[in-house]
Structures are given as structure tokens and as C-alpha cells.
């Protein structure tokens, strides 16, 4: 769970409120009923409530603030390293007065005592974040899924200089601090293009090898 948890938290903290739930939802869907599933459902609805405030959907924000608290109820001040006290405080305030509270920046999600950023993630969490952000930012998600797969293979083989590893890391780190509606894409277009070229070359080489047998 840790990779998905940290990836979603970092995506949210970078301002991609709508995209954050995708990092959690994939893992959440495979869980049986219990505190872990309630925890992730609560975070999913928390980020959705925050996202509604960016669209002035005050009714939607209030409803999700209410149901999010229900899912997080009984999980303590901290669960799996996440500070829930700040999250609950914001949800209570958002439920009472969504328009006033929603006009201010929402709190960061803290994991292990500090807000986690996209540039704080290890590669496993970065791989999760890369595919989520690629879909949200309307890049070719399939290219990123394949690029992350190749990067993992290279790391397993001890190839620390793999272009797949560096390009996936660069794409995610370039997304730090841009957030919802920001038109500044930095160098992400170039990074995505280069990743696609490397993916095509790798697939061609694999196809050539397969053709020998």
C-alpha cells in the first residue's frame, strides 16, 4: 500500500486534487472490507471534496466532507503514517462553511510527519504517480505504463543508468507544484516524447528477438 499511499498524497500536495484518487483507487478496489479500505475511501472522498471547491461546487464539497469523515471515523489521529487530525479539522470546517473554507488553500497531507512531495518519492511510488499524472495531463498513458515496466526491469537487472528510470523520474518531478489548471508544462512534453521514442525502440528490439524463435 505504501507506494500508492505516498504517490496519491504527493499528487494531491502538488495540487492535482482530481487525479490524486486514481493512485489510491486502484489499490482500494482490491481490498476487502476493513480499516485500510475505509482509510483510502476517506482520503478519496477528502480529495474529491477539495476538488469540488475549485469548481465552486459547494453542495458537492459539503456532502463529500460529511461522508469522508464517516469513513475516517475511528482510525485515530494517525493511520499508516498519515496525519488524520488535520484532514478531519478541514473536513469539519468544509462541511460547516464550504464557500468560505474552500476559498483558501487546503491543507497538505502529511505522511511520516511531513508533507510528501513528488520529488520525495522512491521509484515504486514514482511509477504509480507517473501513470496517474500522464492520464490526468492527457499524455499517452500506455507509453508511461510500458516505460515504467521497462524501468522496473532495468532496476531489477542492476541498470541504474536506464533512460526509462531517469525519464519517468524527470516527468514526475517536473510536475511538482504545477497543479490543477496550470498551463506551464515545463519540459514534460519533451520528456514524454523521449520516453515514447525509447519505448518504441525497446519494443522493436524485443519483437526482433521474438522473431528469431
The pLDDT assigned to 37 comes to 95
- Residue intervals of the chain classified under CATH 1.10.3450.10 are 2-116
**Average pLDDT rounded to a whole number, residues 133-148:** 95
Band (180; pLDDT cuts 50, 70, 90): low
The pLDDT assigned to 186 comes to 63
What is the Cα–Cα distance from 105 to 94, expressed in whole angstroms? 12
Burial class for 104, CB neighbours closer than 10 Å (0-12, 13-18, 19+): exposed
> Is domain 2-116 in CATH 3.40.50.10440, yes or no?
no
- pLDDT tops 60 at residue 212: no
Closest CA to 177 of 52, 11, 54: 11
What is the Cα–Cα distance from 54 to 40, expressed in whole angstroms? 22
Band (210; pLDDT cuts 50, 70, 90): low
Amino acid at each position: 500500500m505504501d507506494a500508492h499511499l505516498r504517490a496519491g498524497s504527493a499528487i494531491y500536495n502538488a495540487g492535482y486534487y482530481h487525479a490524486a484518487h486514481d493512485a489510491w483507487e486502484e489499490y482500494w478496489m482490491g481490498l476487502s472490507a476493513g480499516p485500510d479500505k475505509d482509510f483510502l475511501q476517506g482520503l478519496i472522498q477528502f480529495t474529491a471534496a477539495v476538488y469540488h471547491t475549485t469548481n465552486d461546487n459547494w453542495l458537492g464539497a459539503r456532502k463529500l466532507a460529511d461522508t469522508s469523515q464517516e469513513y475516517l471515523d475511528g482510525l485515530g489521529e494517525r493511520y499508516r503514517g498519515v496525519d488524520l487530525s488535520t484532514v478531519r479539522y478541514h473536513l469539519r470546517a468544509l462541511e460547516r462553511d464550504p464557500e468560505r473554507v474552500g476559498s483558501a488553500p487546503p491543507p497538505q497531507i502529511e505522511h511520516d510527519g511531513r508533507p510528501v512531495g513528488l520529488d520525495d518519492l522512491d521509484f515504486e511510488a514514482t511509477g504509480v504517480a507517473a501513470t496517474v499524472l500522464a492520464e490526468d495531463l492527457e499524455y499517452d498513458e500506455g507509453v508511461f505504463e510500458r516505460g515504467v515496466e521497462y524501468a522496473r526491469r532495468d532496476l531489477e537487472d542492476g541498470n541504474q543508468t536506464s533512460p526509462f528510470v531517469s525519464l519517468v523520474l524527470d516527468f514526475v518531478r517536473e510536475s511538482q507544484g504545477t497543479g490543477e489548471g496550470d498551463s506551464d508544462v515545463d519540459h514534460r512534453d519533451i520528456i514524454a516524447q523521449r520516453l515514447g521514442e525509447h519505448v518504441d525502440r525497446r519494443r522493436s528490439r524485443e519483437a526482433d528477438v521474438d522473431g528469431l524463435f
